[in-house]
Amino acid sequence: MGDGGEDMTGTMTVVEVETDVPTAVARIEQALQHLEVTVFARIDHAAGARAVGLELRDEVVLVFGDPAAGTLLMQVDPRIGLDLPLRMLVWTQNGRTAVGYRDPHRLDIDNAPASVRPVLDKMTGLLERLARAAAGDR
């Protein structure tokens, strides 16, 4: 796994995986299904580009989450609804496959009670686990 880093869209944890984008996405989806986490959308940016006659290397966004966890955060601060559900980007970068996500701890939640921290920890743990799954680790 690679190191997390800063990119042009803000702080993102990026992990390189030794497989192609379709395999990494399938592994993440299998892990989500196993964990009974709802997948709300699968956005294939490369397919969208091809549909309008443009080229784009493989790039897929998975949108997923647990409505119970997300609701707890939105009850504290409704603006969190802009950042939820969670997202994971899988793309080809410099001939390698990368998996990226933003740590939920970066969310700016007004007057967050102590009860919010365990929810954010759980979300971060899920994202880390999914990145390991994409790499083929269990």
**Could you tell me the residue ranges of all domains in the chain?**
5-134
Instruction: List Cα–Cα distances, 39 to 69, 93, 112, in angstroms.
Output: 14, 24, 27
Q: For residues 87 and 98, what is the distance between their CA atoms, to the nearest angstrom?
A: 14
pLDDT tens, N- to C-terminus, the chain (138 residues): 444 444 444 689 999 999 999 999 999 999 999 999 999 999 999 999 999 999 999 999 999 999 988 998 999 889 899 999 999 999 998 889 999 999 998 887 767 788 888 999 999 999 999 999 999 986
pLDDT for 23: 96
The residue among 99, 96, 76 whose CA lies nearest residue 87 is 99
Q: Which CATH number applies to 5-134?
A: 3.30.310.70
